[in-house]
């Protein structure tokens, strides 16, 4: 698969590479879930040849575990870690902006230097992030004693809103880390930004202070502080070279800021600022630091084309992810899940339809029964007097659903029988002549197929 071809790993889609390093590549990434939530992220992907090495995998997972303990706006947030097959991924907050290294290279191409107020603002923000890392605690509330050990221009990002972020805790040292070094006695970090004691394997918070001092010096001067054509020469410069003040390079920097810078670059750790926060406060006291909006405005003027290209890249990824075909990587699982859900929906619809049909039939039967009862005349419920020899059985003695057996037709008021002795009822005096009975009334009832007798209304 081509390196920049979108690929699907777990819940994430990997797109084109943002940066490439010796251990990993950084990609644009996209997270989506089943309810439509989506987010653009940065995905750090361990190189395939290193993903089979248990030592590198452990170090990679360690980075995620440690970085997740740091919650600060000046630190790139770690969101997830994925290990699937031969792939090991670290999912990070996507920062739309540029690294300090990229900014410096652009300035060098233009023959320009970074304004001291801008440089101070970026470094102060990064120092607050470094201090947050130093103060990170584990689940028991104990200090992790975390030291970054790899602070450099490429690991400090400036987003388009003017906020600096510290990134890449891959070689950080911390108490309880599962993998402290890939090789016993190996050096961690970049030689140009390494404190002298770090070369000898001794690190502390003041080692990160020294590295930030080197970064600030290079941002102000626009050149390498410890330079050389090979590693041995660079290492010798770190250990023995005298650190010149920026003013010695004809750079206009407030003297108070130079004093802060010189202190941070002291060879002896005890002579430096005790913490990254102390250094940040000292810088803020020595110069009027640019605001975030001023840094953002300056950055947009410097890298307008780069930032716009990033916007286009992210917009294209989001459009592609919005199309159904863009999620083909997890399509088998997604399709299977959809088929199961559709089958369940169809079964539920069938049950509902059957229930509705049964209800309709029941209602029709009830209406039919009620219509049948309405056809029987109201007088049909009347019985003959107690003197009549034919008696009607009690309804309780009849089978369910049957009608009362037929008796003599109800008597017209004009032909009602005399009232038995002892009865309180008296015959009515408003007698009417009997209506002649037609031949259609012989007999005066009908019998249906069920044997139910129904009296004819016209016969009474």
pLDDT at 187: 64
d(CA 280, CA 121): 9
CA distances from 300 to 305, 307, 348 (A): 9, 7, 57
CA distances from 11 to 32, 93, 240, 255 (A): 7, 15, 50, 53
Domain coverage including residue 24: 7-321
Considering the domain boundaries, does residue 53 fall inside one? yes
pLDDT at 91: 95
- What phi, psi does 168 have (nearest 5°)? 65, 85
Q: What is the CATH number of the domain that holds 290?
A: 1.10.510.10
pLDDT at 369: 64
Burial of 127 (0-12, 13-18, 19+ CB in 10 A): buried
Classified as helix, coil or strand, 28 is strand
pLDDT at 33: 80
pLDDT at 395: 44
pLDDT at 368: 64
d(CA 116, CA 455): 113
C-alpha gyration radius of the chain: 46
The number of beta carbons lying within 10 Å of the beta carbon of residue 460 is 16
Considering the domain boundaries, does residue 420 fall inside one? no
- Which stretches of the chain drop beneath a pLDDT of 50? 1-3, 181-185, 325-339, 376-419, 421-424, 429
> pLDDT tens-digit profile of 19-71?
888 889 999 999 988 777 889 999 999 999 999 888 889 888 888 888 999 99
Please identify every residue annotated as catalytic.
Answer: 150
Pure H helices in 241-303 = 255-264, 276-286, 292-302
Q: List, as one string, the DSSP characters of 166-231.
A: E---TT-B-TT-S-S-SSTT---S-GGG--HHHHTT---HHHHHHHHHHHHHHHHHSS-SS--SSH
Considering the domain boundaries, does residue 168 fall inside one? yes
d(CA 243, CA 241): 6
Classified as helix, coil or strand, 45 is strand
pLDDT at 438: 59
Number of domains the chain is built from: 1
Considering the domain boundaries, does residue 29 fall inside one? yes
- In this structure, is the dihedral angle defined by the CA atoms of residues 282, 283, 284 and 287, taken in order, positive or negative? positive
Largest CA distance in the chain: 143
How many residues does the structure list for the chain?
460
> pLDDT tens-digit profile of 68-92?
999 999 999 999 999 888 899 999 9
Considering the domain boundaries, does residue 143 fall inside one? yes
DSSP state of 438: P
**CB-based contacts of 167: which residues, under 8 Å, 6+ apart?**
75, 76, 92, 95, 155, 156, 157
Query: Residue 40's beta-bridge partner residues?
Result: 30
Considering the domain boundaries, does residue 57 fall inside one? yes
Considering the domain boundaries, does residue 313 fall inside one? yes
Considering the domain boundaries, does residue 360 fall inside one? no
Tokens describing residue 242: 């005298």
d(CA 56, CA 19): 19
């Amino acid at each position: 698969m081509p390196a920049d071809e979108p690929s699907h790993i777990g819940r994430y889609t990997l797109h084109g590479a943002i940066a490439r390093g010796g251990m990993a590549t950084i990609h644009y990434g996209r997270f989506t879930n089943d309810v439509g939530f989506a987010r653009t992220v940065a995905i750090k992907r361990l190189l395939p040849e290193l993903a089979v090495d248990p030592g590198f995998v452990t170090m990679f997972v360690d980075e995620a575990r440690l970085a997740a303990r740091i919650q600060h706006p000046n630190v790139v947030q770690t969101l997830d870690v994925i290990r699937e097959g031969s792939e090991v991924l670290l999912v990070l907050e996507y920062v739309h902006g540029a690294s300090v290294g990229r900014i410096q290279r652009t300035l060098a191409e233009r023959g320009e230097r970074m304004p001291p107020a801008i440089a101070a603002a970026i470094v102060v923000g990064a120092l607050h992030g470094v201090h947050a890392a130093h103060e990170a605690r584990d689940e028991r509330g104990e200090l992790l004693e975390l030291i970054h050990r790899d602070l450099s221009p490429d690991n400090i990002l400036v987003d388009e809103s003017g906020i600096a972020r510290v990134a890449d805790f891959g070689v950080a040292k911390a108490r309880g880390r599962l993998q402290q070094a890939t090789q016993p006695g190996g050096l961690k970090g970049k030689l140009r930004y390494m404190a002298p004691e770090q070369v000898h394997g001794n690190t502390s918070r003041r080692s990160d202070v020294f590295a930030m001092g080197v970064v600030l010096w290079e941002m102000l001067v626009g050149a390498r502080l410890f330079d050389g054509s090979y590693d041995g020469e660079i290492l010798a410069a770190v250990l023995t070279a005298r650190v010149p003040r920026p003013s010695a390079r004809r750079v206009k920097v407030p003297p108070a800021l130079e004093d802060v810078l010189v202190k941070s670059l002291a060879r002896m750790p005890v002579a430096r600022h005790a913490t990254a926060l102390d250094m940040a406060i000292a810088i803020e006291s020595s110069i009027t630091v640019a605001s975030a909006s001023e840094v953002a405005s300056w950055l947009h003027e410097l890298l307008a084309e780069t930032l716009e290209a990033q916007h286009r890249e992210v917009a294209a990824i989001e459009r592609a992810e919005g199309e159904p075909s863009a999620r083909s990587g997890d399509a088998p699982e997604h399709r299977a899940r959809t088929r199961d859900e559709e089958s369940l929906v169809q079964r539920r619809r069938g049950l509902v339809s059957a229930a509705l049909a049964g209800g309709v039939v029941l209602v029709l039967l009830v209406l039919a029964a009620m219509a049948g009862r309405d056809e029987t005349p109201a007088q049909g419920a009347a019985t003959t007097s107690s003197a009549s020899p034919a008696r009607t059985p009690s309804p309780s003695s009849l089978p369910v659903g049957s009608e009362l057996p037929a008796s003599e037709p109800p008597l017209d008021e004009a032909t009602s029988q005399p009232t038995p002795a002892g009865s309180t009822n008296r015959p009515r005096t408003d007698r009417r002549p009997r209506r002649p009975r037609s031949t259609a009334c012989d007999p005066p009832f009908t019998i249906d197929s069920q044997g139910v007798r129904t009296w004819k209304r016209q016969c009474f």
